[in-house]
Amino acid sequence: MPIETVVVATVAPVASPTPTSSTVYASAALGYRVELPRPWRLACQSNGERPLGEAAVADFFTVVPEVSERWGDTGYPFDVVYVSVRPNPDRLTADEWITRGPLGGCCVAGAGPHIVASTVDGRAALMFSGSGASGEMFGVVLPSGDRMYEVSSVALQPPMNVAAMTAIVRSFHFLTEADRSALPRATLAPARSAEQVADGLAAGFNLRDNGALASQLGRCVTVGAHGGGVGAQASATFIEDLRRETETGLTVTVAPRPVLDYPPDFVWLSGLRYVRSIWTRPGQRPETVDLLLRAEGDRWYWAGTLTRVP
């Protein structure tokens, strides 16, 4: 693949409103910062401040309000900017990563020939742009030690936020150790077992206490059915939906024991445990629903619901 060296890469001239203010998001865990024009914010499925491990992780940024952040199994339906960090044990350069490595993320793979050599934050990088099935794409790929960073934007059709998204990508900056040390330390939540979460869910549903239930949730909530579609939504949206259903007569009974594991062939549910519950709505047949449990380190949380279809 021929790569042209440029000083400035061009992007399709699609305008979006000029932001009047911005905030800085800095991740001590992933070692970077970006500037976010308001109302852009960190999306619920992001890595956040979880420590960087051996697996690929990413932070996502969205312009939609938290109460509107929900999607189905066809993909994320909003404009998005993401910072993906992948293991790069062979310390490949950006162009080696594209030609010999695992091709970064979907945006690089779909960018076609619109890839140019550039410099980002003082480091050699590849900058890409193009159009694909997901929408208008723009981003950069650059290495840092044994990690490869991909900072990408995907603007859906019609592209309304391209200028703001491009500005976020271009604002990417690696944090120095001094920068990281100066950031406020994230408060680590105390350890919590799967059994404690199960007990909390049983008590919360028994008391119809949505605040107690919210305290058991992670940032994003999986909602789906065995053998059917699976989606996700922000925890605030999920709790609001649950509140409305409770007000119209939904009752939920939880069996907090045993805490169960899925069979090994349920690959997409790997790492999840669950407890059984019965959801009863007025005038409808009761449903058996798995309450999904997941761990971040030594802290378990309620990760969502999976309905068992009769």
Query: How do residues 190-214 score in pLDDT, each as one tens digit?
Result: 999 999 999 999 999 999 999 999 9
Indicate the pLDDT class of residue 112, thresholds 50, 70 and 90: low
Nearest to 204 by CA among 249, 251, 244, 240: 251
Share of the chain above pLDDT 70, in %: 88
Indicate the pLDDT class of residue 104, thresholds 50, 70 and 90: very low
φ/ψ of residue 80, rounded to 5: -145, 145
138/125 Cα distance (integer angstroms): 13
Does residue 143 have a pLDDT over 90?
A: yes
What is the rounded average pLDDT for all residues in the chain? 86
Residues 276 and 290: beta-carbon distance below 8 Å:
yes
What confidence tens digit (pLDDT) does each residue in 271-308 have?
899 999 999 999 999 999 999 999 988 999 999 999 99
What tokens appear for 71 in the block? 């999607």
SS3 for 269?
Answer: helix
Give the mean pLDDT of 126-150.
Answer: 88
Give the mean pLDDT of 120-145.
Answer: 88
Give the mean pLDDT of 30-38.
Answer: 96
Of 6 and 107, the one with more pLDDT: 107
Of 133 and 136, the one with more pLDDT: 136
Sequence-separated (6 or more) residues with CB below 8 Å from residue 192: 298, 299, 300, 301
What tokens appear for 85 in the block? 């960090």
The single-letter DSSP state of residue 1 is -
- Hey, what domains does the chain have and what are their CATH numbers? 10-182 (3.40.1000.10), 194-308 (3.10.450.50)
pLDDT value, residue 266: 86
140/142 Cα distance (integer angstroms): 7
Nearest to 61 by CA among 48, 73, 72: 48
Of 234 and 12, the one with more pLDDT: 234
Does residue 165 have a pLDDT over 70?
A: yes
179/26 Cα distance (integer angstroms): 9
What tokens appear for 164 in the block? 């703001």
Angle at 237 between CA 236 and CA 238, to 5 degrees: 90
Give the mean pLDDT of 263-269.
Answer: 86
Instruction: Give the residues across from 139 on adjacent strands.
Output: 128, 152
DSSP string, 246-257: HHTT-EEEEEEE
- Cis before 89 (ω within 30): no
Secondary structure element (H or E) that encloses residue 174, with its range: strand 173-174
What tokens appear for 113 in the block? 């020939």
Give the mean pLDDT of 247-262.
Answer: 97
What confidence tens digit (pLDDT) does each residue in 208-234 have?
999 999 999 999 999 999 988 899 999
Of 109 and 112, the one with more pLDDT: 112
Highest mean pLDDT pick, 12-21, 106-115, 144-153: 144-153
Distance between the two ends of the chain, CA-based, in angstroms?
52
Does residue 95 have a pLDDT over 60?
A: yes
Give the mean pLDDT of 96-112.
Answer: 57
Residue type, 214: A
